[in-house]
Structure 1
């Protein structure tokens, strides 16, 4: 024989009840079917009770809703003759229910005894309707009344079962029945005086487990609306997947910590007789589901699942007066027991100076009062402090039998949480090592679950959530490259890259599931959210996503002021914007230190040489113990492009204009032509070499005439290039006369740095530097005679975007 239990959603509609009938009709063996109330009915019964005891006649309308729900189900399931019989039964039960609630209404009193009688009606009605559905479909069935079979004490709302008598009643009832299918309402029972009692939360599951134990069932099936127990809550972790097999102990741990598919009391009766439990999906009966048994095959995953509970408060009792004093814990938990407060988590310092325990938020106030009263004398003597309460917390737990004695599990857990800025308030691990629990802020629960699931279950599939400011030439190319490479990243790097936030100077958009990169321009254009850097930051923090990366594609002076905030939230910062890294050394150093302190990468490879690996190679040299002696470089792709194309046929104005149109210069070309941009770049290289320097320390021999240097706007500057054409022509002609080319050179030597326009002779390695290329020569202790040379395209939106793309990918290895 088997026992099959169907929950509220499984019998929540006539359509679903037909599925139940079909599932049971295919069973070849005798079967006990345990059913819950129709979906939502128990909550309606509780609501009606609460309204009635308050003297609110609205309870009558709730009763009408309950009656209508059952009538609609009957009308859909049955033909006219069968409708009449079933409707008559429902009406009879509803009349009894109305009488009970009227008494509650008149007396303004709702005892646990009355509430148990009221809520039991849901299962009484559903079991009758479902038994009739079996009958009209030609199935040989019998309806048992669980109140006559399951006997309990008189704790009406969460009654304790008298197992010996209950098992005998069920065994005798099954033995005396000649029917193939025996239907039992779940959740309900009765005490020795035959007063209705209930089995508490998950009571229908418990009923099924009791029945399975009583008849020595071959299998206990729990039919619900999901395809088994999942590695994490699938509503929070979209990558969560069903667990094929799990042990009783693992299932109990997971269910205790919030996995609502099965409740802890259900497992014990089945475990006592080693009866396997199979969790199945009524809506997808062909799915494999989860098998719970005594043993499971060894697998590669030490962790079977991740679970969590929210609405948790952590209370702490501490004080020097606790150290070495016997009985402190007994008094503490005795005080909580007297208030019927369930403790979900306990941890104690080895010094015995403090004990922390987690309970439901709703019990926190009563718990504090009870414990403070219990230690009133010690608190008065200042030997123990009053209980402190931290609320809005959650407990997150790793569960797995094979975690025992397996090194590195807790390390991976806490590293994953730490890398995503999830602060751990308290930690507990039982001596069985089957569970590692941590108390964290409730707001971090989603991020914690997703990061842990990635760490332990997703075959190293990683996710990056991008928040991008700036969608001009570089930003647009970056989005294009991300879209183009998404499949490649998944296939080759096991990396899912999502753009979650996007902003330009006018508007911004957010989508936690990822912005559609086919239509981002339209979405940004249609957005009604005005762009604001503070609000952008607030949205990023409120979303609180794991592996978040802030990307600055602008040349804006204000955006870098937010880097510090993002880094302090353990968010990586990727920037092509050079302002931060070339700002005051104190600020540059602060960002570097914050990056280390919060394990949040601060990457700016594109600050120098666009997509060229200049900074990366320089870091490798320094980290390996080399020391930079001299740097010679052409660091402005835009200036190199300009002077390579400036000839007798093309005026200086025309070439600068073309460079801007092709995206080689900054939006304000004065930054490039004044030498400030190159100054910033050489400054960054000097700093990355380990040398402290300020921008003001760099000598700048500008080649621009005063008229251009003093221009107050971009328009005035461009106009000055026309009026000062003769100045630029003289520079060009002077170089041509000496068989040289003009190159804007940045150099560092013996602690001094400068930038200037120079005539480069034919034999110099810079002479043949074409187009928009950059070149850097590093002279060091190891590269003393022949420098390390890095050369290639150093400007352009494509190469800059690819450099940013590379930095983004590097963040995942933090």
Structure 2
């Protein structure tokens, strides 16, 4: 029996998603080591913003104890370009797992891929920034139009956490189906917020109260304005639109409705914003009452009309019987309207946020790269 194929894993970012990923990585490592065609998956780098643990001789780090050993590191952190150069000299292929939302790191993806390192990531910045960066990543990747010696790149969890949104869209396009429209609720935060603010059947609290509740439950960013400005959803729509064939320039190149009252855009902190938000509850209450009179509910959605080349993000009204209206909790729902599926869309629905499910999307991408490298 031949020796297992050696693949090295470097993890950058060990917050909630990074920790969940490391737990899943240990399970994957054990499964691959005993597979019919075994793979030796070795963790060699764990890095956070202030320190890193790097196995310079590429001996595998113990995954369960990696974070405690990282905490104990005392020497100055090596500049990341130097670490990347060292990884490129590994005695085998390397998969870089970027669990950050770092724009500067995202902009280096083309050079990382060209150096032969593969990338799996939930970092939306890389794929929703300028169209030029998106093109450069596709041109550098082996699973894009780059050479076979380049790295592969997968980013399923940039849109639906662990939901198979991007892989489904890619398969529709690659098999010749024509996508006409994509519509859905793409934010677990906004899903929870509007399911609480205006549940089907009536009721719900004031908008400010529901925003505060969502923050206290951990559904929003530390500053809720980062959710309410709509840019997170706009980044996801940008990624989907590009995969559907629309050369969208950036998340700010199409209409994005912000739910931040203009009077509160200059608040100095998220806490000040939440304190003052009740002053503007009447505006959202009017919207709720207007929808209720029509027998509808209000939801925060994104849509892509491929034929019209139109992308938009904002509030829309839906009949109570519509799948988007019937969402529960913080679930996401994405409807693909295509020629093959006719009037009944292909629907993907489920948890669209959370460390474990996002890490699952990253882990699934890791396995795709492993299969590609075997």
TM-score of the superposition, structure 2-length normalised?
0.86
CA distance in 2: counterparts of 1:659 and 1:520, whole angstroms:
33
String of CA shifts for 1:603-632, please: whole Å, max 9, x gaps.
Answer: 111111111111001111111112211111
1:624 corresponds to 2:175? yes
CA distance in 1: counterparts of 2:35 and 2:211, whole angstroms:
41
1:688 corresponds to 2:248? no
Kept in 2, the 8 Å contact 1:509–1:529? The answer is: no
Kept in 2, the 8 Å contact 1:552–1:574? The answer is: yes
Q: Aligned with 1:678: secondary structure? A: helix
Q: Aligned with 2:248: secondary structure? A: coil
Q: Aligned with 2:125: secondary structure? A: coil
Kept in 2, the 8 Å contact 1:775–1:790? The answer is: yes
Q: 1:687 to 1:778 in 2, by over 3 A?
A: same
Kept in 2, the 8 Å contact 1:639–1:672? The answer is: yes
Kept in 2, the 8 Å contact 1:639–1:744? The answer is: yes
Q: 1:698 — aligned with what? A: 254
Q: 2:39 — aligned with what? A: 495
1:790 corresponds to 2:334? no
CA distance in 2: counterparts of 1:720 and 1:562, whole angstroms:
40
Kept in 2, the 8 Å contact 1:473–1:663? The answer is: no
In structure 1, which of residues 453, 467, 472 is the aligned counterpart of residue 10 of structure 2? 467
How far has the Cα of 1:653 moved from its partner? 4.7
Q: Aligned with 1:743: secondary structure? A: strand
Q: Aligned with 1:776: secondary structure? A: strand
How far has the Cα of 1:672 moved from its partner? 2.2
CA distance in 2: counterparts of 1:788 and 1:611, whole angstroms:
17
1:768 corresponds to 2:326? yes
CA distance in 1: counterparts of 2:299 and 2:6, whole angstroms:
43
Q: 2:138 — aligned with what? A: 592
Q: 1:509 — aligned with what? A: 53
Matches within 5 A, 1:565-644: 565-596=111-142, 597-599=146-148, 600-644=151-195
Q: 2:87 — aligned with what? A: 540
1:478 corresponds to 2:13? no
How far has the Cα of 1:764 moved from its partner? 1.2
String of CA shifts for 1:343-374, please: whole Å, max 9, x gaps.
Answer: xxxxxxxxxxxxxxxxxxxxxxxxxxxxxxxx
Q: 1:549 — aligned with what? A: 95
1:742 corresponds to 2:298? yes
Q: 1:766 to 1:624 in 2, by over 3 A?
A: same
Q: Aligned with 1:570: secondary structure? A: coil
CA distance in 2: counterparts of 1:550 and 1:669, whole angstroms:
30
String of CA shifts for 1:503-534, please: whole Å, max 9, x gaps.
Answer: 11211111222222222222111112444433
String of CA shifts for 1:253-285, please: whole Å, max 9, x gaps.
Answer: xxxxxxxxxxxxxxxxxxxxxxxxxxxxxxxxx
String of CA shifts for 1:524-571, please: whole Å, max 9, x gaps.
Answer: 1111244443343234235x2422111111122222122122101111
How far has the Cα of 1:703 moved from its partner? 2.7
How far has the Cα of 1:714 moved from its partner? 3.7
CA distance in 2: counterparts of 1:727 and 1:555, whole angstroms:
33
Q: 1:661 to 1:535 in 2, by over 3 A?
A: farther
CA distance in 2: counterparts of 1:479 and 1:593, whole angstroms:
30
Bigger drift between 645-654 and 593-602 goes to 645-654
Q: Aligned with 2:367: secondary structure? A: helix
**Structure 2 unaligned residues grouped into runs of 5+:** none
Q: Aligned with 1:464: secondary structure? A: strand
CA distance in 1: counterparts of 2:190 and 2:113, whole angstroms:
33
Q: Aligned with 1:755: secondary structure? A: strand
Q: 1:559 — aligned with what? A: 105
Q: Aligned with 2:371: secondary structure? A: coil
How far has the Cα of 1:486 moved from its partner? 3.3
How far has the Cα of 1:756 moved from its partner? 0.8
Matches within 5 A, 1:103-502: 457-458=2-3, 461-492=4-35, 494-502=38-46
How far has the Cα of 1:687 moved from its partner? 0.4
Kept in 2, the 8 Å contact 1:465–1:547? The answer is: yes
Instruction: Name which structure has the greater RCO, CA cutoff 8 Å, separation 6+.
Output: 2
Kept in 2, the 8 Å contact 1:777–1:787? The answer is: yes
Q: 1:606 to 1:567 in 2, by over 3 A?
A: same
CA distance in 2: counterparts of 1:699 and 1:705, whole angstroms:
17
CA distance in 1: counterparts of 2:22 and 2:214, whole angstroms:
23
How far has the Cα of 1:733 moved from its partner? 4.5
CA distance in 1: counterparts of 2:174 and 2:247, whole angstroms:
17
Q: 1:770 to 1:523 in 2, by over 3 A?
A: same
Equivalenced residues, count: 356
CA distance in 1: counterparts of 2:112 and 2:88, whole angstroms:
9
How far has the Cα of 1:633 moved from its partner? 1.3
TM-score of the superposition, structure 1-length normalised?
0.41
Kept in 1, the 8 Å contact 2:32–2:40? The answer is: yes
Kept in 1, the 8 Å contact 2:88–2:94? The answer is: no
CA distance in 1: counterparts of 2:222 and 2:283, whole angstroms:
24
Report the RMSD for the aligned CA atoms in angstroms: 2.5
Shift >6 Å, 4+ stretches: none
How far has the Cα of 1:499 moved from its partner? 2.0
Matches within 5 A, 1:713-728: 713-728=269-284
Q: 1:782 to 1:549 in 2, by over 3 A?
A: same
Q: 1:779 to 1:505 in 2, by over 3 A?
A: same
CA distance in 1: counterparts of 2:80 and 2:205, whole angstroms:
42
Kept in 2, the 8 Å contact 1:508–1:529? The answer is: no
